[in-house]
Amino acid sequence: MAEKESIQFLPVYLVNGEDHLKRNVALGRLKARLEKMGDLSFNSDRFEGPSADGTAITAACQTMPFASEKRLVVVNDADKLPKAAQKEVAEYAKAPCETTVLVLVADKLAKNTALYKAVAEVGKQSVIDCTPPQKRDLPNQVRAMAPSHGITITPKAAQLLVELAGEDTVHLDEELKKLAL
């Protein structure tokens, strides 16, 4: 029980950037930590930005969790939310429900938008930067990712993998999985 009490969450997060591997890892970690507190099958909602309604998102956020301490609400493509929905979610972020963790996932949500500013005010760690690495840094990142698959890779091999597989970190991770086999 002490472990459950020690887990702290901010009520709103923004996972912002085009590095899908970083985004998947960040979202996966949040989900794993929330699952320690209770069943997410009853306590989670997912919305797709372009078709999402701000009222539906805020209503889901204000729903009390069932047999758990927290609910999870994920909004994919939050940067593509209609303006009215962005405004509603930004207002919600100013006074969020403490029993819900709202995660906004975006490719490029500009720092000057009201939604970004509202989430940034929630806390120091509320904005999770998932900016893709520079091409020159990819071989080093590939080498850092390799041990998670139980392998090591030389600098030249990492450079060659980046040249052959491209700059998408999700694709590079999949290629490392194949190499590990």
| pTM as predicted | 0.86
Tens-digit pLDDT profile for residues 167-179: 999 999 999 999 9
For residue 7, the model assigns a pLDDT of 65
Place 39 in a pLDDT band, splitting at 50, 70 and 90.
Answer: confident
The set of residues, in sequence order, having a beta carbon less than 8 Å from that of 147 and lying 6+ positions away, is: none
Spatial distance between the Cα atoms of 118 and 95, rounded to a whole number of angstroms: 10
Tens-digit pLDDT profile for residues 84-116: 999 999 999 999 999 999 999 999 999 999 999
Spatial distance between the Cα atoms of 95 and 102, rounded to a whole number of angstroms: 12
